[in-house]
Amino acid sequence: MKTPQAVAALAALAQETRLSVFRLLIEAGPDGLPAGHIAGALEVAPATLSFHLKELSHAGLVHGRQEGRFMIYTADFECMAALMTFLTRNCCKGMPNECLETVETALSRCCAPSGKPPARSRS
């Protein structure tokens, strides 16, 4: 991820409603949520939610898809991972291997790369 994309993503998340939407979509996983469910869960008016989803979409953090008469929104886990990697790239005095391994390992447990379902732990 380059600096302009990181700035756009961080700017999109630097608003309470958008951050709440993104966190809800992260929690929902790769299946995503219908817009109406998001609006109800966060008690946000549909027009307001539409504005915030557009901002998140322009930043590359969420994607919408049509399913019948519903719009389903999904967090872009690859974008989130790229942003987290960008933010930690220079940590640990220029030797980020420990930090990056921790982030990448954590993300690989929950976030589906390239549309694959996440691996479920068997504990």
42 and 62, same domain (yes or no): yes
Amino acid at 113: P
12 and 45, same domain (yes or no): yes
pLDDT confidence tier of residue 109, bands split at 50, 70 and 90:
low
69 and 19, same domain (yes or no): yes
Q: Are 60 and 9 in contact (CB under 8 A)?
A: yes
DSSP assignment letter at 16 = H
As given in the structure block, the two tokens for residue 14 are 């630097």
Number of domains making up the chain? 2
Query: Torsions phi, psi of 34, nearest 5?
Result: -70, 150
- CA-to-CA distance for 77 and 39, rounded, in angstroms? 21
Domain for residue 123, yes or no? no
User: pLDDT value at position 87?
Assistant: 85
Q: Are 71 and 64 in contact (CB under 8 A)?
A: yes
Per-residue CA distances from 94 to 11, 87, 89 (Å): 26, 13, 8
Domain range for 88 is 80-115
109 and 62, same domain (yes or no): no
Domain for residue 122, yes or no? no
57 and 14, same domain (yes or no): yes
46 and 85, same domain (yes or no): no
Q: Is it the case that residue 58 has pLDDT exceeding 70?
A: yes
- CA-to-CA distance for 54 and 119, rounded, in angstroms? 30
Mean pLDDT is lowest, of 30-39, 85-94, 100-109, for 100-109
User: pLDDT value at position 60?
Assistant: 95
Beta-carbon count within 10 A of 102 CB: 12
User: pLDDT value at position 105?
Assistant: 57
pLDDT tens for 9-27 read 999 999 999 999 999 999 9
Q: Counting beta carbons within 10 angstroms of the beta carbon of residue 84, is it exposed (0 to 12), middle (13 to 18) or buried (19 or more)?
A: middle
Tokens 């005095």 sit on residue: 93
Q: Is it the case that residue 46 has pLDDT exceeding 50?
A: yes
